[in-house]
Amino acid sequence: MINSVKEAIYFMRATQNTKTRPDLLNDPILPTLKTMTVPMIFGMIMLMMFNIVDTFFISLLGTEPLAAVSFTFPVTFTVISLAIGLGIGTSAVIAKALGSNKIDEARFDASISIMVAVVLVLALSLIGYLLIDPVFTLLGAGQQVLPLIHDYMNIWFIGSVFLITPMIGNSVLRASGDTKTPSIVMGGAGLINALLDPMLIFGFGPIPAMGIQGAAIASVIAWAVAVVIILYILTVKKRLLSLKAGSQTVVGAIRKILKIGVPAAGANMLTPVAMAVMTALVANHGPEAVAAFGVGSRIESIASILVLALSMTLPPFVSQNFGAGKLCRVKDAYIGTLKFVMVWQFIIYILLIIFSGVISQLFGKEQAVIDVIKLFIYIIPLSYGLQGVIILSNSSFNALHKPMNALFLSIIRLFVFYVPFAYLGSHFAGLTGLFIGAAVGNLFTALVAYKWFIKELESLSSQSLQECNS
């Protein structure tokens, strides 16, 4: 008993900040979400910088290398989506254990989560490695870019475990209440990648120029450093990893994680599938269009950074208040966040329009690529606010313990509206119609998402939520 108390005291000292944590059940809603989200924004910016930095330096090599990397995005994102889903399951399981003061259970679950993630990612990467040619040919890659894709993906698949481990480790830290450390780790890895990219791509001193292969090696090295740091923090500083099962079994721990993680991973993995189809549609308009679309996808990642951060901070707020029966706070947080996101993303759209010339010139070296990047910026970002509604509705469904709703919403968005509307637009109006169709697909999905979430929330309440304060 004494040892248990000592362990709990040590854990609290190791994981809690000196400042009082926000009271999710009573503190003002939007200021509380702001406090939770700001550290996440910096962390996600660092994460996204990997793609942006790689894209910039690779663009200096020409259109074909840029097109090759653009083709890799749906595949790499599939692996990353698996990790994101497992991270959602990991965070939920560990947070519940810590909230119940089951420290040993949390440590064991964290250890098993990392092991499960490593095994699954290695298996998926092996399959991807063996199927590079048929997969990328199916995506529309021509014979001129396949050798470049091999140069990049052969390295990326081998180093994928170094990418995934820090992601799961960061989920463990966030579950313990630490959102700052993951940001610092991602920042350090992003800096290493930015320094190594030009050295390995173009050569530096005795280091030979490795082209597109150098970009992959730089990312793997950066993530390998992140692995060492995150494992040190989890094992030594935070003491959040342990293989002492106690009353648990390995199978039981895996089942807990996968019960939440698999539907979440499934929802996330639908995105690269849809992106693959979209890339194939864009490929019909030439390699310049594919290169520009790849740039646009990375612009989207940065432009939606606030939404992605909120999608990781809104769920714990929703979950806690849902558990406490404070559904009015859930509704107010949901609607208030959506209003803010719509306004914020419109401001982002205006800024993208203003700087469209600079952005297109920065990433495009041929006029055809520059023109398509501009076309993308004029149309697609207009729907980023609507896309934010979809993403936050999806994460809020998970927070209400309705992962299947989140999965079905993803299916509706991608394969009922987004891709079909883009296809129809491409058929009738070319590349412009494709982009317009995708934006209109986001509009219809956002309407469905909002109405569906409010309806589900109303069904959980014995009293009408119309009486809630705005």
Handedness of CA 297, 395, 81, 420 (dihedral sign): negative
Give the pLDDT score at 353. Answer: 93
**Amino acid identity, residue 173?**
L
- Regarding pTM above 0.85, the answer is no
Could you read off the pLDDT of 401-433 as tens digits, one per residue? 788 898 899 899 888 998 899 999 988 988 899
Please give the Cα distance from 306 to 334 (Å, whole number): 15
Give the pLDDT score at 313. Answer: 79
Give the pLDDT score at 143. Answer: 81
Please give the Cα distance from 318 to 394 (Å, whole number): 12
Could you read off the pLDDT of 350-392 as tens digits, one per residue? 999 999 888 888 877 788 888 888 999 999 999 999 999 999 9
Q: How far is CA 350 from CA 299, 303, 419, in A?
A: 14, 11, 25
Please give the Cα distance from 407 to 398 (Å, whole number): 9
Please give the Cα distance from 417 to 469 (Å, whole number): 33
**463 CB burial (10 A radius; 0-12, 13-18, 19+):** exposed
Parse the chain into domains and list their residue ranges: 23-461
Listed as ranges, residues in the chain with pLDDT below 70 are 1-25, 47-51, 95-96, 98-100, 177, 320, 323-324, 462-470
What is the rounded (10 degree) CA torsion for 264, 167, 91, 237? 170
Give the pLDDT score at 100. Answer: 61
Write down the residue that tokens 């790499």 correspond to: 76
